[in-house]
């Protein structure tokens, strides 16, 4: 059964090396999708959506792969949340993502997201890449980030 993403000090340590300044491909990488309400991009019900998705994963007796939870803002009022899973789950919104991607790892406070996004765009373009849709991977919950002393965030952009 999968580990609880929402429990206090629940997240494994994150190794940034495999994800920093990397290009890779996904071929039908499987996720389940949830929707988060936001207020000017600030998540309002992130925890309850994570709890629901985590229950869905547990009830299906499947795993969340690499502890990967991607978010993508659709507007200042909504955010899609994608949890990587190892099999399709009946009753869940199953999404497959395919394509070439570029990723960079950042570390620090969430209020630096705008700066990170600008840096991501700049670094990608310097490599001759044109990033499209972007996902943010918050690799640990706030309590685990405090425990480990690092708050890694990965930006993954389709290229």
pLDDT, residue 9, reads 53
Domain ranges, residue 56: 21-158
Structural domain contains residue 1? no
Q: Is residue 86 part of a domain?
A: yes
Q: Residue 159 above 60 pLDDT? A: yes
Q: Is residue 2 part of a domain?
A: no
What's the pLDDT band for 142 if we cut at 50, 70, 90?
confident
**Is the model's pTM score more than 0.85?**
yes
Mean pLDDT of 101-117: 93
**Whole-angstrom distance, CA of residue 4 vs CA of residue 64:** 10
- Beta strand segments in the chain, E: 22-39, 42-43, 64-73, 78-85, 93-107, 134-138, 152-158
Q: What is the CATH number of the domain that holds 117?
A: 3.20.80.10
Cα 110 from chain centroid (whole Å)? 13
Q: Evaluate whether residue 9 is within a structural domain.
A: no
113 lies in some domain: yes
pLDDT at 124 over 80: yes
> Quick check: is 6 in a domain?
no
Per-residue pLDDT band for 11 (boundaries 50, 70, 90) equals confident
136 assigned to some structural domain:
yes
Count of structural domains, the chain:
1
* Residues 32, 97 contacting (CB under 8 angstroms): no
Residue 38 lies in a domain: yes
Joined together, the tokens standing for residue 70 give: 């991607």
């Amino acid at each position: 059964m999968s580990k609880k993403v929402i429990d206090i000090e629940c997240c494994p340590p994150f190794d940034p090396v495999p994800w920093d300044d990397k290009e890779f491909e996904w071929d039908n990488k499987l996720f389940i999708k949830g929707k988060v309400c936001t207020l000017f991009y600030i998540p309002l019900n992130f925890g309850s959506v994570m709890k629901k998705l985590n229950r869905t994963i547990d009830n299906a007796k499947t795993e969340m792969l690499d502890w990967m939870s991607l978010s993508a803002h659709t507007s200042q009022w909504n955010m899609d949340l994608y949890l990587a899973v190892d099999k399709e789950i009946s009753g869940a919104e199953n999404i497959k993502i395919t394509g070439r991607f570029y990723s960079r790892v950042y570390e620090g406070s969430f209020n630096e997201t705008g700066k990170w996004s600008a840096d991501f765009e700049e670094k990608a373009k310097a490599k001759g890449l044109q990033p499209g849709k972007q996902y943010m991977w918050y690799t640990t919950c706030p309590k685990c980030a405090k425990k480990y002393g690092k708050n890694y965030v990965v930006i993954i952009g389709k290229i």
